[in-house]
Amino acid sequence: MTCKPATELLLADDAGIARAAEVLRAGGLVAVPTETVYGLAARADSAEAVAKIYEAKGRPSFNPLIVHVRDEEQAARYADLPGAARSLAEAYWPGPLTLVLSLRQDAGLAPTVTAGLDTVALRAPAHPVMRALLKQIDFPLAAPSANRSGYISPTTAGHVLASLDGRIDLVLDGGPCEAGLESTIAAIRADGSVDVLRPGPIDLGDPAESSSIEAPGQLAQHYAPGKPVRLNARDSEPDEFMIGFGEMSGDCSLSEAGDLQEAAARLYDCLHQGAASEKPRIAVAPIPDDEVGKAINDRLRRAAA
């Protein structure tokens, strides 16, 4: 008889963070809160540790991971940072911005982190728990969102356990994530131009058409609640779990005040509730397509695809 290994759940206090550092040093998997979503972290310099991320998530091996660093100085050990990258890092790090940069030949990262590409995605997160953790370790952390591949991203420790309990070593509970949507991803080209690959909390413009090919994780279907999702719904059928916004109420509201920041922070929780509901379908009220609303609509389109 095989026994399902238990996943430890700890509060993200000093003792919890110290334990997480120990598990990570030994090559284990830890779900850690960030300001965007919970990440599933492993040491990025170990092929064995990184392989466990793909295994636990059921993630296709062609989809590269984001590497989390303390700051620009640590980032420069793994990638070339041209002027455009330095300006963006100075403006937005620590924060919800990921930069895709040329991988340094001497980076020493596991090749599976970048799925064999000659670029690497780097981000310096702002969440105090992730920052405290990165200070205690001398390696960077590969961390995709802490959910089964293709499923709704996690913004609470409960969401992580619902998806990955028994498949990872530890979850650090730091409460709900503030931004609630994954980081904006921007590729810095050799000529210094910037292409947005994934819209997110920081508005750097709209993604180019071709970005779906370049960011392989940007699949048309993603963030899927496992049942049909109807968008721009102005009313709901009795068998639909209604996700409201502003004056449109529902079984769950993204923001009664019609605030887009609040809606971003609540999006995945409402989708998780809709997924868990007995109703077979989900309907979502229209969300204005400006500011972070663009990133919300990007995620909703993929959830509905």
Q: Which does 215 bind (CB under 5 to 8 A by kind): ligand TXA, Mg ion, none?
A: ligand TXA
Comparison of 16 and 39: residue with beta carbon closer to ligand TXA: 39
Preceding peptide of 201 cis, ω within 30°: no
The answer to whether 61 is a known ligand-binding residue is no
Q: Which does 36 bind (CB under 5 to 8 A by kind): ligand TXA, Mg ion, none?
A: ligand TXA
Name the amino acid, one letter, at 67. V
Comparison of 145 and 253: residue with beta carbon closer to Mg ion: 145
CB of residue 200 vs ligand TXA: minimum separation in angstroms?
7
Q: Which does 216 bind (CB under 5 to 8 A by kind): ligand TXA, Mg ion, none?
A: ligand TXA
Which of 138, 139, 136, 163 is CA-nearest to residue 37?
Answer: 163
Q: Which does 99 bind (CB under 5 to 8 A by kind): Mg ion, ligand TXA, none?
A: none
CB of residue 168 vs ligand TXA: minimum separation in angstroms?
14
- Using CB under 5 A as the binding rule, the residues of this chain from 212 to 251 that contact Mg ion are none
The answer to whether 34 is a known ligand-binding residue is no
Comparison of 59 and 293: residue with beta carbon closer to ligand TXA: 59
Bridge partners, residue 67, by sequence: 122, 142
Q: Which residues neighbour 141 within 8 Å (Cβ) at sequence distance 6 or greater?
A: 24, 32, 39, 41, 42, 43, 44, 67, 68, 133, 134
- What mask of x and - would describe binding to Mg ion in positions 136 to 175, judged by CB under 5 A? ---------x------------------------------
Comparison of 46 and 145: residue with beta carbon closer to Mg ion: 145
The answer to whether 189 is a known ligand-binding residue is no
CB of residue 74 vs ligand TXA: minimum separation in angstroms?
15
Distance CA 24, CA 150 (A): 25
CB 100 within 8 A of CB 119: yes
- Which residues of the shown chain bind ligand TXA in the complex (CB under 6 A)? 34, 36-37, 39, 63-66, 96, 98, 100, 114, 117, 119-121, 123, 125, 143-145, 182-183, 185, 197, 214-218
The answer to whether 236 is a known ligand-binding residue is no
Comparison of 126 and 243: residue with beta carbon closer to ligand TXA: 126
The answer to whether 223 is a known ligand-binding residue is yes
The answer to whether 234 is a known ligand-binding residue is no
CB 43 within 8 A of CB 103: no
The answer to whether 233 is a known ligand-binding residue is no
CB 114 within 8 A of CB 50: no
CB of residue 278 vs ligand TXA: minimum separation in angstroms?
29
Q: Return binding residues for L-threonine.
A: 36, 68, 123, 143, 183
Residues interacting with Mg ion, by CB under 5 A? Answer: 145
